[in-house]
């Protein structure tokens, strides 16, 4: 059993993570969020709440942050009422937000200078994984400290991967999503092209999935309607990983790549395309909406022409 855990950021992800901590045996949860409603929701589940990150940190030896962006995370730790104002030496800070790895490292330096431990632990698995407690955590932590996160993270996820030193959790998350955004666009282009050239889209997906085009975007999450059941493309791209979220992650990738001078031509092109999709109003649709954006139709019948 862990001690009391402070959870900062009680949105779609953080609320479910806090609930799992409450249900599965942590020593209690103290929550903080800027939205009053979020605090009430946590209290209804048996948690307590604090009026600031600083007040929260006074009561906990572990702090978990799950926030939308760099600035929110920095403010939560370093702000006038931030965690570092009150955090006891020897505490453990875990940031599960997806942020810039370079920002994560700078933040880690501040936490370490106060005598505590920092780990970045962004997640995959989405809101569904947060609710079911089946998230995967990609953890950047000093080798000798890594084991400290497992008792807590195991209450919220099914898998905890040590990626390397501080910051590498974010690096792994961003690199993964860079490939994901690019391959989703590639599969969308191929499925639309193939369908219009007259191949049955299920047959095409079947061939690609057993050949060198094989990838998660094709075999597990195919963006062309009619290929798979139970995926966003089968429900008008609702309840998936929103294009606006993919855009945000590709933006973080671009920021990090720019800082170290790594060229990502396909990544920048993917970012630009998702930016156009969001500007055209597709932000809340699953990122497989790229198939529709490129002119893809609901079925082969609609596209088969004279060819």
**Is residue 265 close enough to count as binding a second copy by CB under 8 A?**
yes
Q: From the list 212, 229, 230, 301, which residue makes contact with a second copy (rule: CB under 8 A)?
A: 212
Interior/surface letters 70-90, b for 16+ CB within 10 angstroms, e for the rest: bebbbbbbbeebbbbbbbeee
Query: Taking CB under 8 A as the rule, does residue 32 contact a second copy?
Result: no
**Does residue 153 belong to the site contacting a second copy (CB under 8 A)?**
no
Shorter beta-carbon distance to a second copy: residue 154 or 269: 269
Residue ranges in 183-202 that form contacts with a second copy under rule CB under 8 A = 183, 185-187, 189-194, 196-200
Q: Is 242 in the site for a second copy (CB under 8 A)?
A: no
Among this protein's residues, is 173 annotated catalytic?
Answer: yes
Choosing from 23, 89, 142, 173, the catalytic residue is 173
Q: Kindly state the smallest distance separating residue 196's Cβ from a second copy, in Å.
A: 5
130 counts as binding a second copy under rule CB under 8 A? no
- The encoded tokens of residue 10 equal 């009680």
Per-residue tokens: 249: 């992650």
Residues between 61 and 120 that touch a second copy (CB under 8 A): 101-102, 105
Q: How far is CA 255 from CA 62, 99, 103, 138, 249, in A?
A: 29, 10, 11, 20, 10
Please give the helix or strand (H or E) that residue 34 lies within, else none: none
- Single out the residue of 66, 1, 55, 12 nearest to residue 30, CA to CA: 55
Rounded-to-integer distance, Cα 142 and Cα 248, Å = 27
Q: Does 168 bind a second copy (CB under 8 A)?
A: yes
List the one residue from 85, 176, 234, 284 that touches a second copy (CB under 8 A).
Answer: 176
Give Cα 155 distance to the centre of its chain. 18
Active site residues: 173
């Amino acid at each position: 059993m862990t001690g009391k855990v402070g959870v900062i950021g009680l949105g779609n992800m953080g609320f479910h993570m806090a609930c799992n901590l409450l249900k599965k045996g942590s020593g209690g949860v103290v929550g903080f969020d800027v939205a009053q409603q979020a605090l009430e929701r946590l209290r209804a589940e048996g948690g307590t709440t604090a009026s600031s990150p600083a007040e929260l940190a006074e009561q906990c030896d572990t702090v978990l942050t799950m926030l939308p962006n760099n600035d929110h995370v920095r403010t939560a730790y370093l702000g006038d009422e931030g965690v570092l104002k009150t955090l006891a030496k020897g505490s453990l800070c875990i940031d599960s937000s997806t942020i810039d790895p370079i920002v994560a490292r700078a933040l880690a330096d501040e936490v370490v200078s106060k005598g505590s431990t920092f780990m970045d632990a962004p997640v995959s698995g989405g809101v569904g994984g947060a609710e079911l407690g089946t998230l995967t955590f990609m953890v950047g932590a000093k080798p000798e400290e890594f084991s400290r996160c497992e008792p807590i993270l195991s209450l919220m996820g099914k898998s905890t991967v040590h990626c390397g030193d501080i910051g590498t959790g974010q690096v792994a998350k961003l690199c993964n999503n860079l490939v994901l955004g690019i391959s989703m666009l590639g599969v969308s282009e191929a499925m639309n092209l193939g369908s219009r050239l007259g191949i049955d889209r299920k047959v095409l997906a079947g061939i690609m999935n057993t050949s060198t085009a094989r990838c998660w975007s094709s075999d597990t999450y195919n963006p062309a309607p009619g290929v798979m059941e139970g995926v966003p493309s089968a429900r008008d791209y609702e309840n998936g990983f929103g294009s606006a979220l993919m855009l945000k992650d590709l933006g973080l990738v671009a920021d990090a790549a720019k800082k170290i001078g790594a060229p990502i031509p396909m990544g920048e092109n993917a970012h630009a395309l998702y930016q156009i999709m969001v500007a055209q109003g597709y932000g809340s649709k699953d990122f497989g909406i790229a198939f529709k954006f490129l002119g893809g139709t609901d079925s082969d019948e609609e596209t088969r022409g004279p060819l």
